[in-house]
């Protein structure tokens, strides 16, 4: 659920939207009526003319932004890179390259980035690929998602967890991807020893239980769909938490960023890499867009493929 500040922001934006397009619609309608009645243009002060022009310009800009958010940005992926050092990797080991993707929200009738992702990720030369939930928006999209995971699993070892959209058990079955459902996996890559743990988005308990079984001497990575699980952790905390869910806001505004993150923590874990205590938290902006009746828009929040490189101190 949105935080209180996000709810207030949504209300303000809704009011501004209604005022802008209500006024713009009235100006256009009144102009059409005047022309049909062949009435002369009324005399207006300079202030009124400037306000009218400003309202119409804002309305046109809004339509242009909507077209961009619908037709351009959802198909324009961005690669983000992060470098982390840790004393849990022995000298001379690594670097370990982890590709993190999330929130594909595949659709059965529309292909957005699924066909291009395998080659993009292959070019990043990952040692490990992780997916942090929300596979498909409908049953028709599950097939497209499974094909994507099958292709990725041929590039590098691939691990994932289920998000709050992934109610169907066995959604990863037959793809070659390892479902970190309530379990821990220990892997060695280039001399670096990692422990991977994960669990479904809801409830918290399975992921927390899996984390308890990790080896604290190894570099511990927790996969969970919602980043605010970090607030539920006890004494045992991962070195790196990989999450999604927020979509980076999906619709962002200049300066203020995400309008909504769907978390009670608001903008604390909006997107990107954030250090929380001794844990590095990486929140992906995701690949797809929200389903159901939400319009498939992205604005100032491009789909994200992240490469996180681990190196010894």
Between CA 28 and CA 106 the distance in angstroms is 40
Four-CA torsion 192, 197, 201, 206, nearest 10 degrees: -170
3-state SS assignment for residue 175: coil
Same structural domain, 46 and 188:
no
Asked if 160 and 200 count as a contact pair (C-beta separation under 8 A), the reply is: no
Number of Cβ within 10 Å of residue 124's Cβ equals 17
Question: Residue 206 above 80 pLDDT?
Answer: yes
| In a shared domain, residues 102 and 236 | yes
Name the phi and psi angles at 62, rounded to 5. Answer: -60, -40
Pick the last residue of a domain from 20, 50, 71: 71
- Categorize the per-residue pLDDT at 301 as very low, low, confident or very high, splitting at 50, 70 and 90: very high
Same domain, 265 and 307: yes
- Cβ(87)–Cβ(312) below 8 Å: yes
Are residues 32 and 124 located together in one domain of the fold? no
Sign of CA dihedral 237, 240, 245, 250: positive
Give 11-62 pLDDT, tens digit per residue. 887 888 888 888 888 888 888 887 888 778 777 888 888 988 999 999 999 9
Distance CA 170, CA 172 (A): 5
- Domain total for the chain? 2
CB 261 within 8 Å of CB 243? no
User: Can you give the CATH number for the domain in which 240 is found?
Assistant: 3.60.21.10
**Across 6-10, 94-98, 173-177, 297-301, least confident range:** 6-10
pLDDT tens profile 138-195:
888 999 999 999 999 999 999 999 998 887 667 898 999 999 988 899 999 999 999 9
Which residue is it, tokens 């010894």?
312
Please indicate, yes or no, whether residues 148 and 198 belong to a single structural domain of this protein: yes
Check whether residue 64 and residue 202 sit in a common domain: no
Tell me which of 21, 55, 71 is where a domain ends.
71
Residue 73 has a pLDDT of 96
Query: Do 194 and 162 share a structural domain?
Result: yes
The rounded mean pLDDT for the chain is 90
Strand partners, 136: 106
Domain hosting residue 14, numbered range: 4-71
Q: Is the pLDDT of residue 10 over 80?
A: no
Q: Checking DSSP bridges between strand 96-101 and strand 128-131, what pairing results, if any?
A: parallel
- Is there a single domain that holds both residue 157 and residue 215? yes
Same domain, 51 and 85: no
Domain identity same for 60 and 156: no
Domain boundary among 14, 47, 71: 71
Residues 8 and 82 placed together within one structural domain of the fold: no
pLDDT band at 94 (very low <50, low <70, confident <90, very high): confident
- Distance in angstroms (rounded) separating the CA atoms of residues 5 and 3: 5
Q: Are 225 and 133 in contact (CB under 8 A)?
A: yes
Q: Do 48 and 27 share a structural domain?
A: yes
- The pLDDT of 233-258, averaged and rounded, is 91
Per-residue pLDDT tens digits for 159-171: 999 998 887 667 8
Q: Tell me, what DSSP letter sits at residue 6?
A: H
């Amino acid at each position: 659920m949105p935080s209180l500040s996000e709810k207030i922001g949504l209300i303000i934006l809704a009011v501004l939207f209604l005022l802008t397009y209500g006024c713009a619609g009235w100006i256009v309608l009144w102009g059409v009526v005047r022309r049909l009645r062949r009435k002369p243009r009324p005399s207006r002060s300079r202030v009124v003319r400037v306000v009218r022009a400003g309202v119409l310009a804002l309305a046109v800009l809004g339509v242009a932004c909507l077209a961009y958010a619908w037709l351009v940005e959802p198909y324009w992926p961005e690669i983000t890179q992060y470098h982390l050092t840790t004393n849990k990797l022995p000298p001379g080991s690594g670097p370990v390259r982890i590709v993190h993707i999330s929130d594909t929200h595949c659709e059965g009738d529309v292909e957005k980035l699924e066909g291009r992702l395998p080659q993009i990720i292959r070019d990043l030369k990952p040692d490990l690929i992780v997916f942090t939930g929300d596979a498909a928006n409908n049953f028709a999209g599950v097939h497209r998602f499974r094909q994507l995971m099958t292709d990725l699993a041929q590039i590098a070892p691939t691990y994932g967890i289920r998000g709050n959209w992934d109610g169907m058990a066995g959604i990863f079955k037959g793809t070659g991807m390892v479902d970190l459902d309530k379990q821990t996996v220990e892997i060695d890559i280039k001399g670096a020893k990692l422990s991977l743990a994960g669990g479904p988005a809801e409830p918290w308990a399975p992921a927390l239980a899996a984390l308890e079984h990790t080896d604290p001497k190894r570099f511990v990575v927790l996969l969970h769909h919602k980043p605010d699980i970090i607030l539920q952790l006890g004494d045992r905390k991962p070195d790196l938490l990989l999450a999604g869910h927020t979509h980076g806001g999906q619709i962002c505004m200049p300066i203020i960023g995400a309008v909504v993150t769907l978390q009670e923590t608001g903008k604390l874990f909006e997107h990107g890499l954030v250090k929380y205590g001794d844990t590095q938290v990486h929140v992906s902006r995701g690949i797809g867009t929200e389903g159901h009746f939400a319009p498939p828009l992205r604005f100032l929040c491009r789909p994200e493929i992240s490469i996180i490189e681990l190196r010894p101190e």
